[in-house]
């Protein structure tokens, strides 16, 4: 019987090593593809009017610099639509100031109003794309916390004229404002996910940096599909999968995104991403759960075996030690390769990102365990809080209820099931009897 357990152990450990090796290969391929794509950006000179939609809420870090970058792209034929919930939004005066400093740029500020049963960001996008000018050939979308390079928009639409490509996406690279554990943890987890992207993004599209042909946007019904949903990008990825069109990852469209978060905020942020994936991209979420569960369990099981074998003086303690060493070295190598992408994408931020690189490389096994815990926690719950607004989702991802954190609280009354008229009648009867 003991022989069967050893056979099972070797099979499972070998599978974990193969899994880690495949992740290393994918990360290496990402770097190779990025290097190849970034060699000669000037050869791409697309044409066609672009509508760039930038939903804004609150005051992001360096918001004015981020918005200014949108109006200074090296593409001549585009217009920008900034969208806010209301004129009371802190982003509103910043947008007005940036627009006033660029009077030659065709830009407008749209007040979309408060969303009801749709995510506020998605509602803003739906308002901005309700009536699109016939001159528009492409639609591009960007988040307000992203700072794109001058060639970003040009490269985002450069490959959209190919019929088999449905959308082009970039991704974010977090840049910590301070060297804290929370900021470095977010950088590590984000880098881990981005390194999984390659020439084909496998329908993983990031809503902060992507573009699509206007005619395809209307053909597959993105505007209608966004109704009553909280996620813009996962919904689009699902529609493009159904249409059997590729989502191309474009390395030159990776944008820097400054962060300064607490540990609780970092945990909530990552959990929210996976919670949305659970509702809108079930395959990606399941893959993350299975992969992280398997790798972490094998790591912990071998670590436990090593400790027990040493305590009992067993002669086979070298076996789990060897497996742990191989897994650890593969993780370290993969992390070093993925962190080298920072020098490729943002060489001017090399000094700023140095501590984040060291944190990721040295603490990778523990970061992987934290990653797994966060993913497992997304298996439960339907409530999401996003930029001061809380949402409750149905089993199918539709928004059932929305409330703002600045709204006055509604206190429940004991014994009341929502029928206020019956309660008032009873109260009147008690007063009369008294």
> What CATH number did the domain enclosing 51 receive?
3.90.550.10
Answer yes or no: is 38 within a domain: no
For the chain, what is the domain count? 1
Residue 432 is predicted with a pLDDT of: 41
First to last CA, the chain: 79
Residue 14 placed within a domain: no
Instruction: Please indicate, yes or no, if residue 23 is contained in any of the structural domains.
Output: no
Residue 333 forms part of a structural domain: no
50 lies in some domain:
yes
The answer to whether 247 and 203 have CB atoms below 8 angstroms apart is yes
Q: Which residue's structure tokens are 């390769």?
A: 337
Residue whose C-alpha is closest to residue 112's, from 124, 97, 101, 121: 124
In-domain check, residue 95: yes
- Residue-level pLDDT at 406: 58
Q: Could you tell me the mean pLDDT of each successive run of 10 residues in the chain, 434 residues long?
A: 78 91 92 90 89 93 94 94 95 96 95 91 95 94 94 94 93 93 94 86 87 96 94 94 93 93 92 93 92 91 88 84 91 90 89 89 90 94 86 87 63 41 42 42
Work out the number of other CB atoms within 10 angstroms of the CB of residue 62. Answer: 17
Please check whether residue 111 lies inside any domain of the structure.
yes
Tell me what pLDDT residue 351 has.
86
Q: Which domain range does residue 191 map to?
A: 46-284
Task: Concatenate the DSSP letters of all residues of 27-67 into one string.
Answer: HHHHHHHHHHHTS-GGG----SEEEEEEE--S--TTHHHHH
Residue among 77, 310, 288, 330 nearest 193 (CA) = 288
Residue 384 domain-assigned (yes or no): no
Q: Which three-class secondary structure state does DSSP give residue 176?
A: strand
């Amino acid at each position: 019987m003991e022989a069967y357990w050893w056979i099972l152990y070797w099979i499972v450990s070998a599978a974990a090593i193969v899994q880690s090796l495949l992740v290393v290969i994918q990360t290496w391929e990402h770097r190779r593809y990025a290097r190849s794509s970034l060699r000669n950006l000037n050869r791409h000179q697309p044409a066609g009017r672009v509508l760039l939609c930038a939903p804004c809420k609150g005051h992001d870090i360096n918001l004015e610099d981020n918005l200014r970058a949108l109006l200074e792209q090296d593409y001549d034929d585009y217009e920008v639509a900034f969208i806010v919930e209301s004129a009371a939004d802190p982003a509103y005066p910043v947008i007005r100031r940036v627009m006033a400093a660029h009077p030659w740029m065709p830009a407008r500020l749209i007040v979309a109003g408060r969303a009801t049963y749709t995510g506020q960001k998605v509602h803003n996008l739906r308002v901005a794309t309700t009536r699109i000018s016939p001159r528009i050939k492409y639609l591009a979308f960007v988040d307000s916390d992203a700072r794109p390079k001058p060639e970003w928009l040009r490269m985002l639409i450069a490959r959209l004229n190919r019929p088999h490509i449905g959308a082009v996406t970039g991704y974010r690279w977090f840049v910590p404002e301070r060297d804290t554990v929370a900021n470095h943890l977010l950088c590590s987890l984000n880098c881990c996910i981005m390194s999984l992207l390659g020439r084909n993004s496998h329908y993983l599209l990031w809503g902060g940096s992507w573009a699509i042909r206007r005619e395809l946007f209307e053909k597959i019904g993105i505007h209608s599909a966004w109704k009553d949903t909280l996620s813009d990008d996962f919904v689009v990825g699902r529609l493009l999968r159904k249409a059997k069109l590729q989502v191309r990852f474009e390395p030159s469209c990776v944008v820097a995104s400054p962060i300064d978060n607490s540990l609780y905020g970092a945990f909530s942020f990552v959990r929210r991403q996976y919670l949305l994936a659970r509702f809108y991209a079930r395959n990606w979420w399941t893959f993350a759960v299975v992969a992280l569960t398997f790798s972490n369990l094998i790591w912990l099981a071998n670590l436990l075996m090593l400790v027990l074998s040493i305590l009992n003086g067993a002669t086979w303690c070298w076996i789990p030690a060897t497996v742990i060493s191989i897994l650890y070295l593969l993780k370290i190598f993969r992390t070093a390769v993925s962190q080298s992408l920072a020098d490729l994408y943002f060489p001017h931020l090399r000094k700023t990102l140095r501590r984040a690189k060291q944190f990721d490389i040295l603490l990778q096994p523990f970061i992987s365990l934290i990653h797994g815990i966060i993913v497992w926690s997304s298996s439960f719950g339907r409530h999401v809080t996003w930029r001061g607004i809380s949402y409750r989702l149905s089993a199918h991802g539709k928004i059932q209820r929305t409330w703002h954190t600045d709204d006055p609280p509604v206190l429940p009354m004991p014994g009341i099931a929502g029928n206020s008229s019956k309660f008032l009648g009873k109260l009147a009867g008690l007063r009369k009897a008294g």
